[in-house]
Structure 1
Amino acid sequence: MLVSVFEVVMRYGFGAPTDWAHETTTFLVASIFALGGPYALATNRHIQIRILLDRLSPRKRSWLELLNLVLGVLFCLAIGYAAWVLAYNATHAPDGSWRLETSGSSWNQPLPAFTKIVILVSIALMAVQQVVRIATHRRARSDLDAPK
């Protein structure tokens, strides 16, 4: 917000618009949005529709939760592959040498490359969280299956 306020003041108050405000704001918003997924997953604050789960027995609920976790890992792997390709292409020239993709604007900073790296890291974090949840789920399931 401060970047946008600064831009408005500079543009309309002083007649001196910035070259960097729009790109910086886009990078910051995209990064915060991308990192919001792993944060929501880590704090268990993501949107959940539990109508079906709440109607099932504990054993069936456990199996459905496990299926959901496995599908989550598969989703992260698929999206992660696409994010890897995008991040690699944003950080390497066609000949394989290191270079960062830039915006092509008058400021021409490598924020598009950084954004793609943040997306890749976010997806990797979510995949790791899903795998940890599977391990935790297995421990909880073994407690459920233990004779009483």
Structure 2
Amino acid sequence: MADQSDITDTIEQDDTEIRTGLDRAIAGSTRVLAWAIFVAFLITVIEVFARYAFNSPTFWAHETTSFLIAAIFLIGGPVALARDKHIRVRMFYDSVNRRRRRILDIVNSLIALMFFAGLAYASWIMVGKSWFNPSGALHLEGTGTSWNPPTPALLKLMVLLCVVTMFTQTVFHLISAIRRDPSDKTASAGGK
């Protein structure tokens, strides 16, 4: 079983692949955001205990845990991009020299920017519809249950924020790839 120092060493090794200050801040935030998983677990334990020990189920537990887990899932995109752990076809990427890797990084960043721009536009529309009613008054979209928390509106805003964050990260990565000297042996993507 891994002890605390093994886990810390693994985290620190992962952090060596971080390329920008924004990436460092995002990767560092995971130490705090990971507690949301524990909170979701704790809420689930409370719900099970209330339901089976006191025959008094809660009406908020399921929606709260769903919101927390969905939020954690959304934050995974910027975190994966910050740690350079996103999907890459390694078979092609690892088989080319550093100069071609630089070209692949530039092309990948340009394609990602187009994708994130489109996704940001779609997210902006979703946020507008979930935050405002047709007359333009602020009215957060709820779940439609008896509790009716505004979690759908909040999650749609989180989608927009995460996409804008990933767009910004990709701009910084593109600038870094353009500036990178292809002959520098330490400058390959992610330190690999």
Same fold, judged at TM 0.5 (above): yes
Match of 2:177? Answer: 137
How many Å apart are 1:28 and its aligned residue?
0.5
Match of 2:69 in 1: 29
Q: Secondary structure at the match of 2:57?
A: coil
Counterpart of 1:49, as a letter, is: V
Residues 1:126 and 2:180 aligned together: no
1:71 paired with 2:108, answer: no
> What is the correspondence of 1:1-148 to structure 2 with a 5 Å cutoff?
1-140=41-180, 143-144=181-182
Q: Alignment length, in residue pairs? A: 144
Task: State, as a whole percentage, how many aligned pairs show the same letter.
Answer: 39
SS in 1 for 2:153: helix
Q: Which segments of 5 or more consecutive residues in structure 2 lack a partner in the other structure? A: 1-40, 185-192
The TM-score with structure 2 as length reference comes to: 0.71
Give the residue type in structure 2 aligned to 1:37. Answer: G
Secondary structure in structure 2 of the residue aligned to 1:116? helix
Unaligned runs of 5+ in 1: none
Shift of 1:48: 3.1
Native 8 Å contact 2:105 2:174 kept in 1: no
Distance 1:25 1:88 in 2: 25
Please report how far the alpha carbon of residue 17 of structure 1 lies from its aligned counterpart in structure 2 after TM superposition: 0.6
Pairwise CA distance, 1:4:
1.0
When the two chains are superposed, the root-mean-square deviation of aligned CA atoms in Å is 1.5
